[in-house]
């Protein structure tokens, strides 16, 4: 069943998800939306002195524009998610050792999850973007629990080395803010941006 509350906001079809994330894909599928998956090829390295809001917002816009340039007509949705703690960005770990280090850094502590989100209209390049922030408290994991979670393989392609919607739900103690933001796609923010884009007159 299609969620008409969301589908009515899509200004120009088809809807294109500019991301290879299976988590974002599952959220859109849960809304009953039909969409194309077309991941962009955009470097995700942070720029010097770039804060978390600026970082995720820039990447989401770059991704949306890159994918939109491939279509004559489409509504493109792109996002970027990071974990922010101690003034540092935690993206996806490169290997098990880095995943282990991230989990040890965040255990028993609060951190923030930032997602930048952009929606673009391919026909005229109109774009709207924003970001969402959620505070997350990690459970104070033992070294053995960290090791077991790393060995599961789940942390290896997740920002901050955990997936709150899967086994990682057992390592998160508390969430303040949008749960879906931690998964990687803040749905209410997405709807607001789609509504804003639809209100922009075509050039």
- Positions annotated as catalytic residues are 80
Measured distance CA(109)–CA(145) in Å, rounded: 16
Measured distance CA(36)–CA(32) in Å, rounded: 13
Residue 2: phi, psi to the nearest 5?
-80, 140
How far the first Cα of the chain sits from its last, in Å, is: 33
| Three-class secondary structure assignment of 141-175 | CCHHHHHHHHHCCHHHHCHHHCCCCCHHHHCEEEE
Of 177, 149, 145, the closest CA to residue 161 belongs to 149
Pairing of strands 36-37, 15-17: parallel
Cα dihedral 96→100→158→64 (10° resolution):
-90
């Amino acid at each position: 069943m299609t969620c008409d509350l969301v589908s009515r906001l899509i200004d120009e079809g088809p809807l294109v998800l500019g991301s290879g994330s299976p988590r974002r894909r599952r959220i859109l599928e849960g809304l009953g939306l039909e969409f194309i998956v077309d991941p962009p090829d955009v470097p995700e390295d942070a720029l010097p002195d770039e804060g978390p809001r600026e970082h995720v917002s820039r990447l989401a816009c770059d991704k949306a524009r890159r994918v939109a340039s491939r279509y004559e007509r489409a509504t493109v949705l792109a996002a970027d998610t990071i974990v922010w703690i101690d003034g540092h960005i935690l993206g996806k770990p490169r290997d098990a050792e880095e995943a282990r280090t991230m989990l040890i850094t965040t255990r028993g502590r609060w951190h923030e999850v930032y997602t930048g989100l952009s929606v673009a209209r391919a026909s005229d390049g109109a774009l709207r973007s924003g970001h969402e922030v959620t505070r997350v408290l990690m459970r104070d994991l033992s070294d053995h629990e960290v090791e077991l979670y790393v060995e599961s393989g789940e942390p290896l392609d997740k920002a901050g080395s955990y997936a709150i919607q899967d086994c990682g739900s057992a390592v998160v103690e508390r969430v303040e803010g949008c749960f879906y933001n931690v998964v990687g796609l803040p749905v209410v923010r997405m709807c607001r941006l789609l509504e804003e884009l639809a209100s922009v007159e075509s050039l």
